[in-house]
Amino acid sequence: MEHSLNSILTAFSLTLFAGLATSVGSAIAFFSRRTNPVMLCISLGFSAGVMIYVSFVEIFQKANESLLISFSERNAAAITTAAFFAGIGLTALIDALVPSEENPHEAQGLEDLAGSIDLNKTSLLRMGLFSALAIGIHNFPEGFATFTAALQDPSLGLAIAIAIAIHNIPEGIAVSVPVYYATGSRKKAFWLSTFSGFSEPLGAIIGYVILRQFMNETVFGITFAMVAGIMIYISLDELLPTAEKYGKHHFAIGGLIAGMIVMSGSLLLFM
| pLDDT by position in tens, the chain (length 271) | 567 788 889 999 999 999 988 888 888 777 765 656 777 788 888 989 988 998 999 889 989 999 999 999 999 999 999 999 999 999 888 888 765 554 445 445 445 555 544 556 676 677 677 777 777 777 788 888 888 888 888 888 888 888 888 878 877 877 787 787 778 788 888 888 888 888 889 988 888 888 777 778 898 899 889 989 998 998 898 888 878 877 678 899 999 999 999 888 877 876 6
Which residue type, as a one-letter code, is found at position 6? N
Say how far apart CA 137 and CA 143 lie, in whole Å. Answer: 10
Residue 271: count of CB within 10 angstroms of its CB = 4
Which residues participate in the annotated binding site for Zn(2+)?
142, 167, 171
Which residue type, as a one-letter code, is found at position 88? I
Q: What is the pLDDT of residue 110?
A: 47
Say how far apart CA 256 and CA 246 lie, in whole Å. Answer: 14
Which residues participate in the annotated binding site for Fe(2+)?
139, 142, 168, 171, 200
Q: What is the pLDDT of residue 69?
A: 94
Contacts for 25 with CB less than 8 Å, ≥ 6 apart:
168, 169, 170, 171, 172, 173, 174, 175, 176, 193
Q: What is the pLDDT of residue 130?
A: 74
Domain ranges across the chain: 5-269
Contacts for 121 with CB less than 8 Å, ≥ 6 apart:
181, 182, 183
Please tell me whether the overall predicted TM-score, pTM, comes out greater than 0.85 for this model. Answer: no
Contacts for 208 with CB less than 8 Å, ≥ 6 apart:
8, 147, 151
Which residues participate in the annotated binding site?
139, 142, 167-168, 171, 200
Q: How far is CA 67 from CA 64, 81, 170, 200, 232, in A?
A: 5, 11, 37, 27, 21
**Torsion 110-111-112-116 (CA) sign:** positive
